[in-house]
A and B are shown apart, each in its own frame.
Chain A
Amino acid sequence: MTIEGATLGRALGEQQTGRKSLEPRVFWRMGEPIPRRLDGSLRIISVVLPIVLWWLLSSSGLVNPKFLPSPIDVIGAFGRLWEKGLFFDDVRASIFRVGTGFLLAAVLSVPLGIAMGAFAAVRSLLEPIIGIVRYMPAPAFIPLLIIYLGLDEAPKIALIFIGVIFFNTLMIMDAVKFVPKHLLEATYTLGGSRVQTLMQVITPYVVPNILDAFRINMAAAWNLVVVAELIAANEGLGKRIAIAQKFFRTDEIFAYLIILGVIGFLVDLTLRFVLKTTCKWAVD
């Protein structure tokens, strides 16, 4: 009825004025929020629909279950892995590597990025070399890292460090470039020194951008830990996937993929939560 009404109204409108006007839309709104309920439903569909399709496909008999295990098989695999007790060790090993590598990169990239953004001199000095090195794919460093650092934890942590630091630095640098010039000048006219301006104005201003950079580059770190573990490791989620492949356990591979996705998503949620609570001024 409402649709009919709308059509009727539109028809009348066109008759009266003879012009074509932009009709209001709910689903296809641009640059505006959609109603809460629609938003929630779409978010649920986003996760449920792929699982349903997967389940339908696997139970249709079109694909060999050896290649595409059903969701039930994967849940079973979860149970088995949990009972074996390997699960926890693998997750812990991977998280430790990502955490350490990422933390080291963050500790260095934050001051480096801020310095490069604030001082054109530092930028001229470092941007060219970082610009080149960041295009060297981090996994290409693995052989070197193994030669230098052996097969233990060090090369894996170093790989994540290399994969994260350059992008992090450049993203933070860009954020600093967008600090309004007048904000710095206002600080100078209040008697602020350069150091004070750097520490008490520029740095707090880019905290939300730093957290955003972390969120984006965390995904890269999470990628690289799997790459490193696929090549050489005793435990870890990537290692476990490599073993599952040897034994053709696609259900276990699926289980590990899901775990990787869920952990990554949780880390992202945590960082978003930190952003929301610590930088109230910057959100919506």
Chain B
Amino acid sequence: MGFRILIVDDSPVLRVMLTDMLQALGHEVVGEGESVKSGLAAFIATKPDLVTLDVSLPDGNGLDLLQMIRKHDPNARAVMVTGNDQVALEKRALSLKALGVLHKPFDVEELSALIQKAAPFIRPRPAA
């Protein structure tokens, strides 16, 4: 099943790579954000089924953004996609109910496995 996915990552190169992989897996990338501010605005505008969040962002971090998104929509579904593989950070992400953490660099198989694991918890929603 294809999901409507929002990507929030400061790196345009990573956004291109991630979009390519998600589309190859049959998902639709409905928007992109490069910061906390633009990510939150894109989330509100697109109401995605799932949002991928980087941790390091120019105006804050992805964990704070996840909390902001939750305030706006308590049922929001998110995965962290980050180069940061620290144990304490992963625990913090899971305590904020992120559905999983994917460490950069990753390949399409790892991305697919993460989305499959998260899929039972994702409820497709009508486009905004």
Please say whether chains A and B are actual partners in one complex: no
Residues of B bordering A, CB below 8 Å:
none
Residues of A bordering B, CB below 8 Å:
none
